[in-house]
Structure 1
C-alpha cells in the first residue's frame, strides 16, 4: 500500500483540565503505532501523520485503543485523509475568504448525516447564523463566534449527534490541517 497522509481529530481532550493528552505524548503514541511524519497542531487534539497501512476507520480504531491503553480513558477519534480534508475546505458553502475565521466552523462526523436529522431545527429563528451539510460535515456560520452561537448550541444537542462521532474545528484549524497534510 502506498504511503498516505492523514489527520487524526480527537474529540474532547484537554478541555477544562479533563482528559489530558499532552501533544508530545500523542506524537509518541502515533509514532509507536508505526506512523511517520507525526506533527500536532494546537493542544486540542489535531495530529497529522503518514501511514502505509489501514484506512480511515481502522486507523481511528487503532488510535482509540492505543489512547485508552496509554491514558486510561476513552477518546473519540476521527481520521481523515488529505484529499478529504481539502475537499471539505474547497466545498465550503460560505464565503470563507470574506469571513473572520472565528465565524466559520466545521463539524466532522464519523458517518454521513442527512438533512432529516436536522428537521426540528428552525433555521430562520437563528438567522443570521446558518448551517449547511456537506460530505460527513456540517458547516456553521456564526457571526459572533461559536461561544455565543445559539445555533451551535442547538446543533450540539445529543439528539442531533446520536449514533455518530462529531467533533468541531474552527476555520483556522480546518485550513491549517489542509496545509499540514499537503505540505
Structure 2
C-alpha cells in the first residue's frame, strides 16, 4: 500500500481552525487510512492509502475534517518520491545548517509563467529564491516572518501553496526514510 504525506493548510494558526493532531489521526484512521502518523501541530500527516490519486486523497482528507470539525482545510498530498525529489533539488543546501531560514513552498501545480519582476521586487537583498517544478524554495536568512516575499508568493504565483521549513521537511523525510 503506498505511503503518502498530507500537508494541511491553515490549521492551528492564531487560534483558528483548531485541530488537535490526535483527533486528526483518529478521524483519518476512521476513513480507512492506515499507519497514520502526525508531526507537530501544523498539519503534517504520513499515512498509507490504497488510492493512487492525490486529488482523491486530498478530497477524502478535506471531507473527513469538514465532517468532523466543521471547517474545510486545504490539503496538498505528496508521494515519498516527490518529497525526496524536493529535498534533492534544493538549490540552497548550505542553508540547511540554519534550517528555519530555508522554506519549501509546495505548489498544487506548476505555474504557467511566474511573474519574475514582481517576485524580485518583493525579495529583500539577503533573500534567495528559486522555483523548481512544483516547489518554490526560499532562503530568508533574516527570518521568514519579516519577509514580504514569504507572505506574498502564493498571490504572485496564483497557485495554492503550503510552506514548510527545512526542519519539518527533513523530519518528514526521516519518518518516511526517503531523504
- 2:119 maps to what in 1? 121
Superposed displacement of residue 69, structure 1: 1.0
**Paired residue total:** 178
**Superimposed CA distance per residue, residues 20-67 of structure 1 (whole angstroms, 9 cap, x where no aligned partner):** 011011101111121111100000000000112232111001101111
Q: Which runs of 5+ in 1 are unaligned?
A: none
Aligned Cα root-mean-square deviation (Å): 1.9
Partner Cα distance (1:118, 1:153) in 2:
16
Partner Cα distance (2:64, 2:123) in 1:
43
- Give TM-score scaled by structure 2 length: 0.91
Q: Secondary structure at the match of 1:116?
A: coil
Match of 2:10 among 7, 12, 23: 12
**Superimposed CA distance per residue, residues 126-172 of structure 1 (whole angstroms, 9 cap, x where no aligned partner):** 2220110012110000002211223223324x3x243x321110000
- Give TM-score scaled by structure 1 length: 0.89
* 2:149 is equivalent to residue 143 of structure 1: no
Q: Which runs of 5+ in 2 are unaligned?
A: none
Q: Is the Cα–Cα contact under 8 Å of residues 131 and 139 in structure 1 kept in the other structure?
A: yes
Partner Cα distance (1:56, 1:90) in 2:
21
Q: Is the Cα–Cα contact under 8 Å of residues 9 and 79 in structure 1 kept in the other structure?
A: yes
Q: Secondary structure at the match of 1:128?
A: coil
- 1:42 maps to what in 2? 40
Structure 1 runs, 4 residues or longer, greater than 3 Å off: 96-99
**Superimposed CA distance per residue, residues 88-140 of structure 1 (whole angstroms, 9 cap, x where no aligned partner):** 01110112465300110011111112443443223596222011001211000
Partner Cα distance (1:102, 1:76) in 2:
23
5 Å-filtered alignment, 1:1-183, equals 3-96=1-94, 99-122=97-120, 126-156=124-154, 158=155, 160-162=156-158, 164-182=159-177
